[in-house]
Amino acid sequence: MYTQALDLPQQNPEGRPPSLAENPAWQAEFDAKIDAGGFIEPKDWMPEAYRKTLVRQISQHAHSEIVGMLPEGNWISRAPTLKRKAILLAKVQDEGGHGLYLYAAAETLGVSRDKLTDALLSGRAKYSSIFNYPTLSWADVGVIGWLVDGAAIMNQIPLCKCSYGPYARAMVRICKEESFHQRQGFDALLQLMQGTEAQREMVQDAVNRWWWPSIMMFGPHDSDSTHTGQNTRWGIKRISNDDLRQKFIDATVKQAEVLGVTLPDPELKWNEQRGHYDFGRIDWEEFWNVVNGHGQCNVDRLAARRKAWDDGAWVREAAMAHADKAARRAQAAA
């Protein structure tokens, strides 16, 4: 994972329409490139608003990957078998890698890594709301892989073709790895479902808690998302929030059947006319509550990231001091 459509008014105080006055000729060239389905590369001219939107989106995405290591990391030391522990370690390490690919992509837009980290640690930056829910049982780890990474894959595949080259390339790399995340989750759940009654109940309980937050990951309804139009024009957003959500729900119903769990939505049923599943009303109040910092784990997550940053400070400083000293010595010897 993990990206969430966060193109929301609250998150975007500095967002503004692209300034066409910046340079009409360059703007025309930029528009033509986008219209032709081409890519924008780091040193190319781009409208300032495009650059800002990308910095915000890519860094939020990177923060989500990094914070996303925490809920599952919580279970590494308690994984039920050595095999599951090795798998979970690899998965969590992948998420760290995803964060790093994405920070590197954001940095090509002229923003420093330290500044991005500071935005997260200070609480100014957003990350996906899904990670502010707790992982209460081992089944949560499987359900996160299945539903949360599954939703992330739906969100992320269209980004592999987004107009900004470094972001698109990072997404290609990420998407290749996400499939493992989803499949290992489903596999862990299948095994639990073949176990005892208590284990099956544990899976159902985890599904009950994660289903709605998972489908909220696609962001607000299209009618309520303000920046979709501009982001579509810029080739950053290719498929709308509601379309992606529908696609995810349609794909997941069958998987739930195979697993033998019930998705906790009594209104979920096939609509012959639409050719899609209908589903119940999403509790947006809860969504906004979590996005705006009042979820169950918002405080813990940021505290954990701050502690990691502070505890690692001496390592970063010592390594840099050592490198500087070695460079000075090499220079003196030359």
**Does residue 307 belong to the site contacting other proteins (CB under 8 A)?**
no
Q: Which of 12, 27, 45, 288 binds other proteins (CB under 8 A)?
A: 45
Q: Rule CB under 8 A: is residue 326 a binding residue for other proteins?
A: yes
> Do residues 59 and 113 make contact, with C-beta atoms less than 8 angstroms apart?
no
Among residues 136, 179, 317, 329, the one that binds other proteins under rule CB under 8 A: 317
What whole-number distance in Å separates Cα of residue 163 and Cα of residue 101?
Answer: 17
**Shortest spacing between CB 219 and other proteins, in angstroms:** 27
Contacts of 291 (CB under 8 A, 6+ apart): 6, 8, 10, 11, 126, 129
Q: Which is nearer to Fe ion, 34 or 66 (CB)?
A: 66
Q: Which of the 8 DSSP states describes residue 267?
A: T
Alpha-carbon span 44 to 27, nearest angstrom: 11
Distance (Å, whole) CA 290 – CA 217: 12
Please tell me whether residue 100 binds other proteins under the rule CB under 8 A: yes
Task: Look at residues 67, 62, 43, 54 and name the one whose alpha carbon lies nearest to residue 7.
Answer: 54
Q: For residues 244 and 79, what is the distance between their CA atoms, to the nearest angstrom?
A: 32
CB of 17 to Fe ion, least distance (A): 31
Residue 72 interacts with Fe ion (CB under 5 A)? no
Using DSSP's 3-state secondary structure scheme, residue 194 falls into: coil
Residue entry with tokens 């003196």: 332
For Fe ion, how many residues bind (rule: CB under 5 A)?
7
Q: Give the number of other CB atoms < 10 A from CB of residue 154.
A: 20
Q: Which helix (H) or strand (E) holds 286?
A: helix 284-289
Beta carbon of residue 2, minimum distance to Fe ion (angstroms, whole number): 6
- From the list other proteins, Fe ion, none, pick the one residue 221 interacts with, judged by a Cβ distance below 5 to 8 Å according to partner type: none
C-beta of 95 vs 140, nearer to other proteins: 95
Number of H helices, E strands in the chain: 14, 2
Angstrom distance (rounded) from CA 213 to CA 284? 10
* Tokens 């982001």, residue located: 231
The residue within the footprint of Fe ion, chosen from 72, 107, 149, 265 (CB under 5 A), is: 149
303/288 Cα distance (integer angstroms): 21
Total residues in contact with other proteins, by rule CB under 8 A: 28
Binding partner of residue 322 among Fe ion, other proteins, none, CB under 5 to 8 Å per kind?
A: other proteins
* Contact with Fe ion (CB under 5 A) among 61, 63, 181, 209: 181
194 near other proteins, judged by CB under 8 A: no
The listed partner (Fe ion, other proteins, none) that binds 1, CB under 5 to 8 Å by sort, is: Fe ion
Q: Is 319 in the site for other proteins (CB under 8 A)?
A: yes
User: Is position 173 an interface residue for other proteins (rule: CB under 8 A)?
Assistant: yes
Contact between 122 and other proteins by CB under 8 A: the answer reads no
Binding site for other proteins (CB under 8 A): 41, 43-45, 90, 93-94, 97, 100-101, 104-105, 107, 112-114, 169-170, 173, 177, 316-317, 319-320, 322-323, 326-327
Binding site for Fe ion (CB under 5 A): 1, 65, 95, 98, 149, 178, 181
